[in-house]
């Protein structure tokens, strides 16, 4: 049993407006998304829309602004590819214009903030969570969930989510999990309707489209959808972010409205700009 009265400080702090807020990155994204410890966060998006790329940029920005550390298991991206992209963002220079010395210096600096789990091995959820537990990271990434050696089906998903929930509660670390939608979300019934400015292009998946069902939405703290109109002439370099769930809005963040997106411009790979602001500019 929990001890009576142990939540009195929280109750009084809430009354006095002293609840600690999540960490921001100083751009319009902060209105909807902030970093908080001890969270289980889900990211959903179609294949090839840049989910991983966006989250690596977001982690890099958090690391440099707030001295956070990350442990990444990226089953579909190599260690070298991720570092290459981060170095280009960090230096604000196209990669092929960097000297060997600049690359070496940037790589050594950035590796202070990032640990990479060997992605040549197929991990069971408990094995990967134990690696995360042993790290000194503030946040961890599973990318993608379907790359784990796991039990299939509804029961298996809940078993994993309960295990992940217990992990964040015990360690205080935050977990981000990249997921994919079902095949149904990529069919003709999920395109922008006639008359819409993006008519005929694939819509972002809804939370209910996630592979494995709504158990992920039910058990998570924050739920983000990342999308890109990959065949649109002018929009293909814009990443669209929508937020379907923020469990605790008192500590920051809020849902986006229906068909309202945060526009993140690719900026030639030098770090996203949002409403004209690249949050890396102030910390390079």
pLDDT digits (tens, 9 = 90+) for 141-167: 999 999 999 988 878 899 999 999 999
The band of 81, judged by pLDDT with boundaries at 50, 70 and 90, is very high
At 160 the pLDDT is 95
Using CA atoms, how far apart are residues 207 and 258, in angstroms rounded to an integer? 12
The band of 29, judged by pLDDT with boundaries at 50, 70 and 90, is very high
Report whether pLDDT(43) > 90. yes
Residue 54 belongs to what domain range? 22-269
At 42 the pLDDT is 98
Kindly state the tokens that stand for 13. 């702090």
Number of domains, the chain: 1
Q: What is the mean pLDDT of the chain?
A: 94
The band of 186, judged by pLDDT with boundaries at 50, 70 and 90, is low
Q: Do the domain assignments include residue 141?
A: yes
Q: Do the domain assignments include residue 60?
A: yes
Residue with more model confidence, 223 or 284: 223
Any residues with CB less than 8 A from the CB of 151 and at least 6 apart, and which?
159, 160
Kindly state the tokens that stand for 270. 């030098």
If you average pLDDT over residues 104-123, what whole number do you get? 96
Report whether pLDDT(218) > 70. yes
Report whether pLDDT(111) > 90. yes
Looking up residue 237, the CATH number of its domain turns out to be 3.40.50.300
Q: Do the domain assignments include residue 13?
A: no
At 7 the pLDDT is 82
At 213 the pLDDT is 78
Report whether pLDDT(212) > 90. no
SS3 string, the chain, reads CCCCCCCHHHHHHHHCCCCCCCECCCCHHHHCCCECCCCEEEEECCCCCCHHHHHHHHHHHHHHHHCCCEEEEECCCCHHHHHHHHHHHHHCCCHHHCCHHHHHHHHHHHCCCEEECCCCCCCCHHHHHHHHHHCCCCEEEEECHHHCCCCCHHHHHHHHHHHHHHHHHHHCCEEEEEECECHHHHCHHHECCCCCCCCCCECCCCHHHECCCCHHHHHCCEEEEEECCCCCCCCCCEEEEEEEEECCHHHCCCCCCCCCCEEEECHHHCCCEECCECCCCCCC
Picking from 86-95, 119-128, 204-213, which range would have the lowest pLDDT averaged per residue? 204-213
If you average pLDDT over residues 167-194, what whole number do you get? 88
Tens digit of each residue's pLDDT (9 = 90 or more) over 121-134? 899 999 999 999 99
If you average pLDDT over residues 20-30, what whole number do you get? 97
Q: Do the domain assignments include residue 284?
A: no
Predicted model pTM: 0.94
At 16 the pLDDT is 76
| Torsion angle of C-alpha atoms 188, 194, 200, 201, degrees rounded to 10 | -100
Q: Do the domain assignments include residue 5?
A: no
Q: Do the domain assignments include residue 279?
A: no
- Percentage of the chain with pLDDT > 70? 99
Q: Do the domain assignments include residue 134?
A: yes
At 185 the pLDDT is 65
């Amino acid at each position: 049993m929990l001890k009576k009265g142990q939540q009195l400080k929280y109750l009084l702090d809430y009354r006095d407006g002293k609840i600690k807020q999540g960490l921001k990155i100083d751009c319009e994204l902060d209105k909807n998304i902030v970093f908080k410890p001890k969270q289980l966060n889900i990211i959903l998006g179609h294949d090839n829309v840049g989910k991983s790329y966006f989250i690596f940029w977001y982690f890099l920005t958090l690391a440099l602004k707030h001295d956070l550390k990350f442990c990444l298991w990226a089953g579909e991206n190599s260690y070298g590819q991720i570092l290459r992209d981060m170095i280009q963002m960090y230096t604000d220079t196209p990669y092929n214009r960097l000297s060997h010395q600049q690359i070496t210096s940037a790589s050594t600096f950035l590796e202070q903030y990032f640990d990479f789990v060997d992605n040549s091995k197929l991990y069971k959820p408990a094995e990967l969570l134990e690696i995360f537990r042993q790290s000194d990271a503030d946040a961890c990434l599973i990318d993608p969930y379907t790359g784990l050696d796991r039990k299939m089906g509804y029961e298996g998903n809940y078993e994993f989510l309960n295990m992940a929930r217990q992990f964040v509660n015990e360690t205080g670390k935050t977990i981000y999990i990249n997921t994919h939608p079902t095949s149904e979300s990529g069919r003709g019934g999920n395109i922008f309707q006639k008359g819409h400015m993006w008519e005929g292009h694939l819509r972002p998946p809804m939370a209910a489209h996630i592979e494995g069902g709504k158990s992920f939405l039910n058990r998570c703290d924050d739920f983000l959808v990342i999308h890109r109109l990959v065949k649109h002439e002018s929009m293909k370099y814009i990443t669209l972010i929508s937020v379907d769930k923020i469990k605790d809005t008192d500590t920051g963040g809020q849902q986006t409205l229906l068909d309202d997106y945060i526009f993140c411009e690719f900026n030639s790979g030098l770090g996203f700009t949002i409403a004209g602001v690249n949050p890396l500019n102030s910390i390079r």
